[in-house]
Amino acid sequence: MHRAHIFVLLGGVVAWAGCDYGFPAGSEPHRELNFINMGDQPKHKPQRGDLLGEQPTGMLAPPPGALATDEVPYTYTSKEGDRAGAELKNPLEPTAKVLAKGKFIFENVCIVCHGPKAAGDGHLTKLFPKPPSLMTQKVRDWNDGRIFHPPMRGQGSMPSHATQVEAHEIWSVIHYIRALQKTESVAPAAPATPVKQQPPVKQPPPADTKAPKATNAPEATGGQP
């Protein structure tokens, strides 16, 4: 009986030590308490080598051409703004919620260049080229799809914002711009960019086309000098 108590006591000590320090498990065991669980099994871990040795890291890259479930690829090139305007339609209705969302995005993203009333007088225009006003008659005549194109592909000194702002948010901004166009006066058209005059090309002097003067030859005298 006394020996049995000793075995039970030793077993308790071993169990207590295992729970306190942890048993090795896997190639990188944890020893904080007892972590013999799924956290210690061989598995892919971000920024670490692939267990199968087929990839440089354990991160699984998506296959080529994969898209997110809610992503629609934008197929128009930077020079196809007119085609985008003719083919794209605003999928959102100008509800109060959409207008509030568009106002929020405009005042947190667009305002720094386009200004509070989309007149092209934002704070960054002191350091960068001034964008054209969105209140001109030209922009008012554009379809929503034509306005959608510049923030998606960029225009002039403005880069693309497709990675910063989602497509549905840009559509809501367009509804907000339409609301501003109803309350703001029509802005004058942007002045045409002056064409840099090339210096005139210096032409070579014209060639002398006059026939050379004939020299007076001595008259023939029957062979006599």
Segments making up each domain of the chain, as ranges: 2-40, 81-183
- 150 Cβ partners below 8 Å, 6+ apart? 81, 158
Q: Out of 66-75, 86-95, 123-132, give the one with best mean pLDDT.
A: 86-95
Q: Does domain 81-183 have CATH number 3.40.80.10?
A: no
Residue-level pLDDT at 168 = 95
Q: What is the mean pLDDT of residues 77-92?
A: 96
**pLDDT band at residue 72 under the 50/70/90 scheme:** confident
Lowest mean pLDDT among 4-13, 14-23, 117-126, 150-159: 14-23
Lowest mean pLDDT among 10-14, 99-103, 186-190: 10-14
- 8 A C-beta contact, residue 84 and residue 154: no
Q: Is residue 48 pLDDT above 70, yes or no?
A: no
Tens digits of residue pLDDT in 143-190:
999 999 999 999 998 999 999 999 999 999 999 999 999 999 999 987
- 46 Cβ partners below 8 Å, 6+ apart? 57, 58, 59
Residue-level pLDDT at 9 = 73
Residue-level pLDDT at 41 = 59
State which amino acid sits at residue 109: V
